[in-house]
């Protein structure tokens, strides 16, 4: 299954715009770190994982997976790709591999185990990046009495961003822990929750960097990300971060 989207270019511009000053103890600034975290929360990251997992859980319970209601212990692999139009000035391509497992309490479905691996790349006239990610998560709240799904687990992201005009690259790794992420059963969107992250990496000729902080999910596609004592509002739809 292939999907086409234009979100990637916006996310890259958000990261490039933040690359304007270094801090003494790190090779990238707090603004740059916040931008990288925001990209990892966006359409190829937590935002996509949560909505895809919630929709799959709903489909499984409604009998829309293979034309039947999924039973306890049911497993399935889901693969799909998203890419730009042929000849596009801003070209991107991503491949997602999901693995789902339906878990039960007694005979009643109660949780969905979610595994994910993905890879992708983007290129434009001025910028390019390639990245990969993996996640091990559990989606609870499948029983009908639960008002929302609840997601917990770990997400990892690593990638390299290249500014062609500056001839500069930033390589980064993120480990993110997600806790009590509430996801609407009707809209498949995150409404509340929290998390923590650790980001590290290198910039050639400038050295290394390391940051860690907290994430508070606000709903409506937004989250607050703390970096070095500064709070940023991340737009998870387009992968940008703005100082609060």
Per-residue model confidence as pLDDT tens digits over 93-125: 989 999 999 998 888 889 999 999 999 888 888
If pLDDT is split at 50, 70 and 90, which confidence band does 237 have? confident
pLDDT band at 171 (very low <50, low <70, confident <90, very high): very high
Give me the pLDDT at residue 67, please. Answer: 47
Give the pLDDT confidence score for residue 152 in this predicted structure.
98
Summarize the confidence of residues 190-211 as an average pLDDT.
Answer: 95
Q: What is the mean pLDDT of residues 173-179?
A: 96
Q: What is the mean pLDDT of the chain?
A: 85
Distances (CA, A) of 212 to 28, 115, 190: 13, 24, 22
List the domain range (segments joined by +) for residue 17.
Answer: 2-243
Residue 131's CB is within 10 A of a number of other CB atoms, namely 21
- How far is the C-alpha of 166 from the C-alpha of 19, rounded, in Å? 10
Total structural domains in the chain?
A: 1
**By C-alpha distance, which of 207, 159, 219 is closest to 183?**
219
Query: How many Å apart are CA 86 and CA 206, to the nearest integer?
Result: 36
| Rounded mean pLDDT, 170-188 | 95
Q: Are 36 and 174 in contact (CB under 8 A)?
A: yes
**In this predicted model, which residue has the larger pLDDT, 107 or 191?**
191
**Cα 11 to Cα 47: distance, rounded to the nearest angstrom:** 13
Cα separation, 89 vs 81, in Å, equals 19
| Span 14-64, pLDDT tens digits | 555 444 444 567 898 898 889 889 888 886 689 889 999 999 998 887 765
Q: Looking at residue 61, what is its pLDDT?
A: 79
């Amino acid at each position: 299954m292939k999907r086409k989207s234009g979100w990637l270019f916006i996310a890259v511009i958000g990261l490039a715009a933040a690359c304007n000053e270094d801090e003494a103890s790190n090779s990238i600034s707090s603004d740059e770190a916040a931008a990288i975290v925001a990209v990892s929360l966006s359409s190829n990251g937590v935002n996509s994982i949560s909505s895809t997992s919630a929709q799959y859980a709903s489909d499984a319970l409604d009998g829309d997976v293979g034309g039947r209601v999924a039973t306890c212990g049911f497993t399935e692999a889901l693969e799909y790709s998203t890419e730009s139009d042929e000849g596009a000035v801003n070209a991107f391509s991503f491949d997602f591999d999901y693995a789902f497992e339906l878990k039960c309490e007694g005979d009643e479905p109660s949780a969905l185990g979610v595994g994910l691996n993905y890879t992708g790349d983007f290129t434009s006239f001025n910028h390019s990046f390639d990245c990969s990610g993996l996640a091990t998560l559990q989606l609870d709240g499948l029983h009908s009495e639960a008002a929302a799904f609840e997601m917990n687990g770990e997400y990892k992201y690593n990638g390299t961003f290249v500014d062609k005009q500056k001839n500069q690259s930033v390589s980064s790794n993120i480990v993110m822990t997600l806790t009590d992420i509430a996801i609407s059963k009707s809209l498949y969107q995150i409404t509340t929750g929290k998390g923590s992250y650790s980001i590290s990496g290198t910039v050639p000729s400038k050295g290394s960097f390391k940051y860690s902080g907290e994430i508070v999910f606000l709903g409506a596609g937004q989250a607050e990300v703390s970096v070095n004592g500064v709070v940023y509002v991340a737009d998870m739809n387009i992968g940008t971060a703005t100082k609060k």
